Amino acid sequence: MNPASNLILVGPMGAGKTCIGKRLAERYGLRLADADREIEQRTGASVTAIFEHEGEAGFRARESAVLAELLQADGLLLATGGGAVLAADNRRLLRERGFVVQLQVSVEQQLERLAADRSRPLLARGDREQVLRDLAQARAPYYAQVADLRFDTAAMTAAEAATQLAVALDRHWRRIAAPPSPSVSEVNA
């Protein structure tokens, strides 16, 4: 059992990291940080604009810096970007500084959830389904490498997933000096 005070969500785009993260942060009294939003706030530019001007390598460098800074704190729920696990230093940091939950989702479910989303630079490269399949294949070993717990979000709303994941977290994750947790039914409140 990993007693880390931080809870970190990793997984592909469309898995629900931010939506589920909001509910879990509230339940566990953690400060929510979305890595992509942090990067946007600090740069004053969207992820798409950063990709356009600096390329993926520039974005990944910014992502690593933000992760390192955010994870200096305790009591954080961090929703990472889908590619945060690509860098070995990021994977080490995630494992050292938090209890890592890998949110899983099928490519079909991703396509459905992201159908109207045009803000994802990696999905602007042709056949969205093939891009998602390629990303899944390339990133799956890295997600598995950092995960303390795996949780499938397919066919669930964010509220349902947060409720069910909270039950699993209560069994597998005990925060250091954790405050009393509200009941699972309060997750949807």
Is 15 labeled as ligand-binding?
A: yes
Q: Does CATH number 3.40.50.300 belong to domain 7-173?
A: yes
pLDDT reported for residue 3: 63
Per-residue pLDDT at 147? 97
Query: Is 23 part of any known ligand binding site?
Result: no
> What pLDDT shows up at residue 54?
95
What is the residue-level pLDDT of the chain in tens, covering all 189 positions? 566 899 999 999 999 999 999 999 999 999 999 999 999 999 999 999 999 999 999 999 999 999 999 999 999 999 999 999 999 999 999 999 999 999 999 999 988 888 777 778 777 777 889 999 999 999 999 999 999 999 999 889 999 999 999 999 999 996 654 444 444 434 433
139 among annotated binding-site residues: yes
Q: Is 60 annotated as ligand-binding? A: yes
The reply to whether 16 sits in an annotated binding site is yes
159 is in an annotated binding site: no
pTM above 0.85, yes or no: yes
pLDDT of residue 61: 97
- For residue 177, what is the enclosing H or E element? none
**Rounded-to-integer distance, Cα 70 and Cα 38, Å:** 9
Sheet of 31-34, strands arranged across = 31-34, 76-79, 7-10, 99-104, 149-152
98 is in an annotated binding site: no
- The answer to whether the annotation marks 14 as part of a ligand binding site is yes
CA distance 88 to 168: 27
Q: How big is the CA angle at 185 (ends 6 and 180), to the nearest 5 degrees?
A: 45
Domain boundaries, the chain: 7-173
The reported pLDDT for the residue numbered 2 is 60
